[in-house]
Amino acid sequence: MSTLTRQSVVFASPRTIEIQKDTLVAPGSGQVLVQAEMSAISAGTELLVYRGQVNEEMGSEVDAIFGFPTKFGYSMVGRVLETGSGVSSTWKGKRVFAFHPHESHFLASPKDLLLLPDEVEPESGVFLPNLETAVGLLQDGRPMIGERVAVYGQGTVGLLTVALLRRFPLAELVTCDPIEFRRQLSLEWGAEHSLHPEDAAELRNCDLTYELSGQPGTLTMAIQATGFSGRVVIGSWYGTKRAEAELGGSFQRSRVHILSSQVSSLDAPLSGAWTKERRMLVATGLLESVRPQALITHRFPASAAAEAFDLLDREPSEALQVVLTY
């Protein structure tokens, strides 16, 4: 192949996005060349990076390199254009998923790609990281029959978590979010009730509570909503923001268990059998029934990535899942 020009989304400085162009050569031995079709913007970790609310030391926590300038992003769907030596030609033309930053083309080893079934469209495939996160949240929380469950935060991860929780025979599934259209979506996706944070004081005696809002102040609300010997699963990552949870009052007597849920691993009893690869395969199998593409509210060409991030940053009440097209 002849050389081609690659366009990459670069975080130049806090709240500053630039489009960088460079030349990409043919795939080398053991590599394939992928042409991007669509990538999803994370309104959690990725927005923290955009705002500069992380630091370089935190990179090891999420297997990333922080600091400016940098490329970021971890949800990419594309097609294999070319294969290098040592790679089967059957890869050519295949649609694949990759944990990769936002850019029009990239080189990768096949072992770092996930082959998508023919019926999986880009709009669905870009939800794989968030759906795999929801799978891990349920495995960490271990919901049981007859339990009362609350989910704080109805962004993409929160709604996907609700979509999986509704499959359990729970006694009650309640959600909480300050944005009205997200509360309405929550009801459509399986919650029995959805509350504004101002009304969440009535939430008490939950057996299992998820904190997925990304807002440190919500942690205290989640703890207070959890009953005796209940579990609080924290799926939010706050970056440099501090979470000052109130652990006085009845907290110690209630014997509440607080667990951090991290996308790269599971609690020890499950980690041996449930590898990252296995969880991704489970998430892939759920795409058709969950149909997460319904959560896409905005599409931007990658060249307008600055507009996309600005929208998520300034108008979170108007956007849910924002994707870039190539």
* pLDDT values of the chain reduced to their tens digit, one per residue, 326 residues: 668 999 999 999 999 999 999 999 999 999 999 999 999 999 988 999 999 988 765 544 445 556 789 999 999 999 999 999 999 999 999 999 999 999 999 999 999 999 999 999 999 999 999 999 999 999 999 999 999 999 999 999 999 999 999 999 999 999 999 999 999 999 999 999 999 999 998 899 999 999 999 999 999 999 999 999 999 999 998 877 788 888 877 788 889 999 999 777 888 888 889 999 999 999 999 999 999 999 999 999 999 999 999 999 999 999 999 999 99
Closest residue by Cα to residue 114 from 242, 285, 230, 295: 285
Q: Which fold has domain 4-116+293-325?
A: Quinone Oxidoreductase; Chain A, domain 1 (3.90.180)
Quote the CA–CA distance of 292 and 130 in Å, as a whole number. Answer: 10
* pLDDT for res 252: 80
Q: Which amino acid belongs to residue 191? A: A
Report the SS3 class of residue 325.
strand
- Which DSSP helix (H) or strand (E) runs through 188? helix 180-188
Report the SS3 class of residue 43.
coil
* pLDDT for res 57: 57
The domains of the chain are located at 4-116+293-325, 129-271
Residues written for the chain: 326
Phi, psi of 179 (to 5 degrees): -95, 125
* pLDDT for res 242: 82
| Statement: 129-271 belongs to CATH 3.40.50.300 | no
Closest residue by Cα to residue 99 from 277, 252, 238: 277
* pLDDT for res 264: 75
Which pTM does this prediction carry? 0.93
Closest residue by Cα to residue 173 from 156, 157, 186, 160: 186
How many helices (H) does the chain have, and how many strands (E)?
10, 15
185 token code pair: 């979506």
* Residue reference for tokens 């600055």: 306
Name every residue whose Cβ is closer than 8 Å to that of residue 275 and which is 6 or more positions away in sequence: none
